[in-house]
Amino acid sequence: MLLTAYLFLVGLLALLAVLEFSACHSKSSASGSPLGNPAFRQFQHVFYKAYFPALAADWLQGPYLYKLYQHYNFLEGQIAIIYVCGFGASVFSGLVSTTLTGRLGRRKTCILFCLLLAGSYLCKLSQEYFVLLTGRVLGGFASSLLFASFEAWYTHEHAEHHDFPPEWLPHTFTRAAVWNGGIGIAAGVTANACAEWLSFGPASPSVLAVPLLALSIVLVAREWDENYGQSSSFTRVCGEGLRCLLRDRRVLLLGAIQALFESVVYIFIFLWTPVLDQFNTPLGIAFSSFMAASAVGSSLYRLATSKKYHLQPMHVLCLSILMVFFSLFMLTFSTAPGQERPTESLLAFLLIELACGLYFPAMGFLRRRLIPEKEQIGVLNWFRVPLNLLAGLGLLVLHDSDYQSGTRNMFSLCAVTMLFALLCVVSLFSMVRNDSELRLPTSETEAGENEL
């Protein structure tokens, strides 16, 4: 599996380079780029140099999180409980993060994210179960603040302080999404180097992330101005979101699709390590391959929805769900007790990540078109509740079963879940197929903007 993992990574990086080069070449003659504005470039630089270290620190925990708990000799069920507590914290944090950001200020919330994540990482140095549980809860709180606080700060400064055109916003976030993929790939290789090549152990990537968070805190505190959002009450935000869900069946179906799809992704995040680690797979390299596959998916989305191919986001969403269903079907056979086929399992995991690269920009486009802007926060808060509930229940079911048979049964259950998601997509498509607002106009060249 060692050579296979490296070959997959090299192949995906080569494919990604070809796709990105083609995309850059097709845009080389475009005019009116915001990068021709020196003030805008400087503003982007101020944002990126504080944002990217925070992203890198967040990615560094991914490859060896499960391995760390396993290294401390905790059982599968105990590790599942730690993950479930993280999901619960993420739900609660998502519900209150908007109100917190409005009252505390976006710059302070960015600093709070860094402090919470640093605290989460430092807790991983302890072998006490309760301390590790606390660290996972802190990480769950931090996860909902990362994109909300940093991107909200940038959006406000872009429009209110610098008065740049609103159509320049996608340029910044599209570039950030591309860099995010590259940072994730580099984080996996770096984590692998620390934990395995240098034999520092599975806790070393978390230790390495703390200085990056400190750097982000310093840059945010020194170079960013404070700004505040509208401080709406928690009950009002949730009430508006619930009313939007109940009055529009399209939004309800979209929420069901998100809950079903992303809960399966959360369970995949838990299961990939024990499935591959038993065959001495380099976990950091496998993680980098996942990030590369996701980046390839995002590039393919931009290509599919370009003027040349005119594929619509609803079609891409359906395709991504079919890909995940097929991958889970593969996993039910490749993880059968006594008949494990690790290469097929790794390939199935890579297909899931590639499908995620297609799914997230397609889902982001549909959310922006279906959910009124003033109600988006409340609706997304409601979306997170069944999402994390389904993921948590899935892990609790796995916790109560034998690992070998339980893992295979969990993949089978996830495949059934994706069938329900596919039915929801078909139902939604039958309702909106003649809705011009949910179709990309041929002039929209930035349709591939990611929402991560």
List, for residues 397-412, the tens digit of each pLDDT value.
766 666 566 788 889 9
Residues 6 or more apart from 265 whose CB is under 8 A from it? 352, 356
Mean pLDDT across 312-326: 93
Mean pLDDT across 331-352: 91
Q: Write down the H helix ranges in 105-128.
A: 106-123
Q: Are the beta carbons of 209 and 120 closer than 8 angstroms?
A: no
Mean pLDDT across 237-249: 78
Amino acid identity at 200? F
pLDDT over 50 at 445, yes or no: no
43-231 maps to CATH 1.20.1250.20: yes
Residue 431: CB atoms within 10 Å = 12
Which of these, 319, 255, 418, 286, lies nearest to 8 by C-alpha position?
Answer: 286
Mean pLDDT across 140-165: 86
pLDDT score recorded for residue 31: 44
Q: What is the largest CA-CA distance in the chain?
A: 62
What percent of the chain has pLDDT above 70?
Answer: 90
Q: Read off the pLDDT band of 441 (50, 70, 90).
A: low
Top-level CATH class of 240-440?
A: mainly alpha
Q: Are the beta carbons of 65 and 187 closer than 8 angstroms?
A: no
pLDDT score recorded for residue 440: 67
pTM score > 0.85 for this model?
yes
Give dist(CA 59, CA 56) in Å, integer: 5
pLDDT score recorded for residue 447: 40
List, for residues 42-73, the tens digit of each pLDDT value.
999 999 999 999 999 999 988 999 999 999 99
- For 167-182, b/e burial (b = at least 16 CB within 10 A) is ebbbbbbbebbbebbb
Give dist(CA 148, CA 326) in Å, integer: 33
Q: In the chain, where are the structural domains located?
A: 43-231, 240-440
pLDDT over 70 at 30, yes or no: no
Give dist(CA 44, CA 41) in Å, integer: 5
Q: What length is written for the chain?
A: 452
Residue 72 exposed, middle or buried by CB count within 10 Å (0-12, 13-18, 19+): middle
Q: Read off the pLDDT band of 308 (50, 70, 90).
A: confident
pLDDT over 50 at 355, yes or no: yes
pLDDT score recorded for residue 380: 77
List, for residues 185-239, the tens digit of each pLDDT value.
999 999 999 999 999 999 999 999 999 999 999 999 999 998 886 666 667 777 7
Q: Read off the pLDDT band of 110 (50, 70, 90).
A: very high
Q: Do domains 43-231 and 240-440 have the same CATH topology?
A: yes
User: What token pair was written down for 353?
Assistant: 């990540």
Question: What is the pLDDT of the chain when averaged over all its residues?
Answer: 85
pLDDT over 50 at 436, yes or no: yes
